[in-house]
Amino acid sequence: MGHNYAKPATAEQRLTRVLSRIPSDWAVMIERRPGTGMWRAAVHPGGQDGLWSEETAQPVEALESAWRLNRPPAS
């Protein structure tokens, strides 16, 4: 019997997905720490402050983390 296993999303697919969820009027900041190769990100509504993600090895991981920290509560 065959199994239908989903392929993991690529970094590009993950980036597209998270960027599509962030409202267009929100600020998006991604930065790489000099000398470390580690990334962090923040997203927030314009005119407000947002929390920075923890440092991660991949920029998409930092952006996903920042979105989880700052997204509005589910309705």
* Alpha carbon distance 43, 33 (integer Å): 17
Q: Which two tokens stand for residue 65?
A: 């983390």
The pLDDT value recorded for residue 7 is: 85
Sign of CA dihedral 25, 30, 63, 67: negative
Q: Is residue 43 part of a domain?
A: yes
The residue-averaged pLDDT of 61-73 equals: 94
Question: Is 72:46 a contact under the CB 8 Å cutoff?
Answer: no
Q: Domain range for residue 53?
A: 23-70
Query: Which three-class secondary structure state does DSSP give residue 33?
Result: coil
Q: Is residue 28 part of a domain?
A: yes
Q: Is the pTM of this model over 0.85?
A: no
Q: Is residue 33 part of a domain?
A: yes
Res. 70: pLDDT tops 60: yes
The residue-averaged pLDDT of 49-66 equals: 96
* Overall number of domains in the chain: 1
Q: Is residue 61 part of a domain?
A: yes
Q: Is residue 62 part of a domain?
A: yes
Q: Give residue-wise pLDDT tens across range 12-55.
A: 999 999 999 999 999 999 999 999 999 999 999 988 999 999 99
Q: Is residue 17 part of a domain?
A: no
